[in-house]
Structure 1
Amino acid sequence: MGQQKLLIVKLGSLGDIIHTIPAQQRLAQHFPQAQIHWLTEPPYHTLLDHIPGISRVWLADTKKWRRHISSLPDSIQLIRALRQQHFEAALDFQGLVKSALLAKLSGAKRVIGFVAHQSREAASSYFYSETVVGDDGSRPHVVEINLQLARSLGCSTNGANPLIPLEIPSEAFDYVDDQLSKNNIVKPILVNPGAGWVTKLWPLRNYAQLLLRIHQELGHGIVLTYGPGEKDLVQEIQTVTAPHPIAAFPTTFLQLAALCRRSHLLIAGDTGPLHLAVALGTPTVAILGPTSPWRNGPFNEKDPIIKRYLFCSNSYKRTCHQFICMDIPVQEVFDAVTRRLES
């Protein structure tokens, strides 16, 4: 493919982007001379800027476009700039109408996405020149599904690997080391209680009980991690666990990555920090609710997945009036943590 250019369209979220990076790496290996560009939303460029093999990261602030009609010139300017790149192909890993439309408007010769019934929004397929079957019914992980899209350009799908070559700057490690030192913690266990969907949330009282048991019975230092809008969750847990000190401090994506590298283990639901930890090789324990373990759980078979299997399992519902899928006993999670630490 020489010096030709490819465009990856994956706007968000953190976990979805992390699950797409292995496909980007496979494209970079298969086309070492090609330029690979990535179209995403803020703030994910801060992560993608540190991934080898990405020539340029483009920002599409679609939320701003929807809120402010005055930002329309920004979107037009972006589309014009993308079209000037003369992309050989645009691969839409998002599967939404907005991502498919952006891929089409990029002017790429080929616009490739998943078949309609496997896209998040079936109408997205109207904008593709080619479609690919991502899930062949063999229960593939989302990392493997994304590799199928790369396969459309001739890449091999063998030997799927979730690990990503994130280049974490020294400043991120310096910040994390300073925070750990202030809290007298070495090699902590990380706990991320937040999630993007309310149905993915394990009860905060359960997290509090789990942290106390880890602190008292296993003797490990603990750090609570959180993202934008989740600080109240952390403070509520800290209130319940008082007077036992449970550390928590804000992190950027790169600082969170550095923290994962400094830690024994991360415990979380199906959320970005869990997938980041897996991608960096940090052991994890996953507490899953409405999402399927084979598709969205940790790719590493050594990482325990704690889940209730019910009539509504793997429904991918973002709201629910029962929340029975997250009615998981603390003992079950604690036992999984113990097993993973021993392994």
Structure 2
Amino acid sequence: MPEPLNSVLVHPDCRHYRGDLPCRPNKTDGYVCEGCPVYAPVTQRVLIIKLGAIGDVIRTTPLLRRLRQERPGCFITWLTLTPAILPQGEVDEILKFDYASTLQLQARRFDVAINLDKEKEACALLLNVNATEKFGYTLRPYDGVAWPINELAHHKYLTGVFDQLSLANTKPYVQEIFELCGFDFRGEEYVFDTHDDKNYDWSRLPATGPRIGLNTGCGDRWTTRLWSTPKWIELIQGLQAAGYTPVLLGGEAEDARNRELQQATGAAYLGTFPLPQFINLMNQMDGIVTQVTMGMHISIALRKPTILMNNIFNPHEFDLYGRGQLVQPNRECVCFYRGSCRLGTSCMEELPAEKVLAAVRESVPIQSIA
């Protein structure tokens, strides 16, 4: 609603209004609130708390599509540890999780607050934030335990605290978080920035054959997911013989391995890059081979055919949106959500390179790219 200050009309309810600085329409076009042609009143204010790993933040973005549909005109604030991964322009306010952000969020009022993390700091914030409707996880004040805020959160909560229920679950993660918020999942895609507008120079990329990105790492928490160097070499050589162009992908942790693979096979490797540039590099691929890691979420978000190598996680957790395939070792994994193998040698060594190559052939047929 408009409010006069010393006879000057202001619209603090407008999505452009800042309060501490001139808004963008004032800076670029000289507009003032009175008679402003781009005045956009906010209908509702929504807070999303998803701190988590980069991949978890990426795979939460489909919620943005439904929130915009169900609550037109809403203003979405997102609190996260990784602000750079969120799509600028799709989220109205992106806040990095720190003391200053937490302090001001607790002083505001929201129509809806959603917390998708069980970390105690995230749960405590949902407990204390002023919101008409709350979804997800809160904190039990008397024992400090993460707890579902209502019945909608029971399913997702329980699959996270009992391995038996997690193994029996048949719902993808995105469906679970939609249901946690009271929505049915209708196949909403990720909301993601490809960074094509940066005009990065990829002239060093080979121009022949469909490019298959090989994301060779998986982080240092779940090392049971790692595929050995000889397996990667076998896959690369198989791809090359079949007419594909393998491109090695990874960060600093994968640099030494990727250089070794490049030297052994001649596969393309351009080095490591800042996250936006790495995302755009992945967008130059025709398909991606990856384990369950950040690269997998980026690949899905970029709508690339994704060949997902999985062993220790419930395969139902991942929705590839009908693009690509999930491949698993020929030996059943007995190390559900474990970082070290109970049998000494990870079952990933029982995933043949030929099986991965066959999935690439089916998901990225060469004739469809030519």
Q: How would you bin the TM-score normalised by the shorter chain? A: 0.7 to 0.9
Distance in 2 separating the partners of 1:23 and 1:191: 29
**How much has 1:114 moved relative to structure 2?**
5.1
The secondary structure found in structure 1 opposite 2:108 is coil
- Structure 1 counterpart of 2:192, which letter? L
Deviation string 1:85-120 (CA, Å, 9 cap, x unpaired) is 31233211122223212333444444421599xxxx
| Residue correspondence of structure 1 range 251-290 to structure 2 within 5 A | 251-290=273-312
- 21, 43, 55: which is aligned to 2:92? 55
| Residue correspondence of structure 1 range 22-61 to structure 2 within 5 A | 22-41=62-81, 44-50=82-88, 52=90, 54-60=91-97
Question: Where do 5+ consecutive residues of structure 1 fail to align?
Answer: 62-74, 117-121
- Structure 2 counterpart of 1:29, which letter? Q
Distance in 1 separating the partners of 2:331 and 2:299: 28
Distance 1:107 1:200, change over 3 A: farther
TM-score, normalised via structure 2 length: 0.74
- Structure 2 counterpart of 1:91, which letter? I
Deviation string 1:199-238 (CA, Å, 9 cap, x unpaired) is 22111221122112212x1232222111343322322322
How many aligned residue pairs are there? 307
Distance in 1 separating the partners of 2:263 and 2:239: 17
**How much has 1:312 moved relative to structure 2?**
4.3
Distance in 2 separating the partners of 1:330 and 1:27: 42
Distance in 1 separating the partners of 2:194 and 2:303: 14
The secondary structure found in structure 1 opposite 2:364 is helix
Distance in 2 separating the partners of 1:302 and 1:233: 28
Deviation string 1:244-282 (CA, Å, 9 cap, x unpaired) is 242233234433333333221000001111122112211
Distance 1:310 1:248, change over 3 A: same
Distance in 1 separating the partners of 2:96 and 2:275: 17
Distance in 1 separating the partners of 2:194 and 2:110: 29
Paired position in structure 1 for 2:174 = 143
Paired position in structure 1 for 2:11 = none
Distance 1:285 1:129, change over 3 A: closer
Distance in 1 separating the partners of 2:152 and 2:347: 34
Q: Which moved more, 1:244-253 or 1:274-283?
A: 244-253
Paired position in structure 2 for 1:159 = 186
Identical aligned residues as a percent: 22
Distance 1:337 1:170, change over 3 A: closer
Q: Contact conserved, 1:110 with 1:129, CA < 8 A, in 2?
A: no
- Structure 2 counterpart of 1:142, which letter? Y
Distance in 1 separating the partners of 2:359 and 2:242: 13
Paired position in structure 2 for 1:119 = none
Paired position in structure 2 for 1:71 = none
Distance in 2 separating the partners of 1:341 and 1:184: 17
- Structure 2 counterpart of 1:132, which letter? A
Deviation string 1:107-152 (CA, Å, 9 cap, x unpaired) is 4444421599xxxxx92117x467523459661100101111221x
Relative contact order (alpha carbons < 8 A, sep ≥ 6): 1 or 2 greater? 1
The secondary structure found in structure 1 opposite 2:110 is coil
The secondary structure found in structure 2 opposite 1:267 is strand
Distance in 2 separating the partners of 1:301 and 1:308: 21
Distance in 2 separating the partners of 1:245 and 1:103: 48
Distance 1:332 1:227, change over 3 A: same
Question: Where do 5+ consecutive residues of structure 2 fail to align?
Answer: 1-40, 160-167
Distance in 2 separating the partners of 1:256 and 1:4: 35
Alignment RMSD (CA, Å): 2.8
| Residue correspondence of structure 1 range 71-90 to structure 2 within 5 A | 75=99, 77-90=100-113
Distance in 2 separating the partners of 1:332 and 1:12: 32
The answer to whether 1:235 aligns with 2:262 is no
- Structure 1 counterpart of 2:244, which letter? H
Distance in 1 separating the partners of 2:93 and 2:151: 24
Deviation string 1:306-331 (CA, Å, 9 cap, x unpaired) is 11365645711122243433121111
- Structure 1 counterpart of 2:43, which letter? Q
**How much has 1:191 moved relative to structure 2?**
0.5
- Structure 1 counterpart of 2:214, which letter? V
Paired position in structure 1 for 2:216 = 193
The secondary structure found in structure 1 opposite 2:177 is helix
Q: Contact conserved, 1:141 with 1:299, CA < 8 A, in 2?
A: no
The secondary structure found in structure 2 opposite 1:184 is coil
Deviation string 1:56-94 (CA, Å, 9 cap, x unpaired) is 111015xxxxxxxxxxxxx1x222211233123321112
Distance in 2 separating the partners of 1:38 and 1:323: 41
Distance in 2 separating the partners of 1:100 and 1:239: 48
Distance in 2 separating the partners of 1:5 and 1:213: 52
Q: Contact conserved, 1:290 with 1:317, CA < 8 A, in 2?
A: yes
The answer to whether 1:204 aligns with 2:229 is yes
Distance 1:334 1:169, change over 3 A: closer
Distance in 2 separating the partners of 1:320 and 1:314: 6
**How much has 1:4 moved relative to structure 2?**
2.7
Distance in 1 separating the partners of 2:71 and 2:228: 46
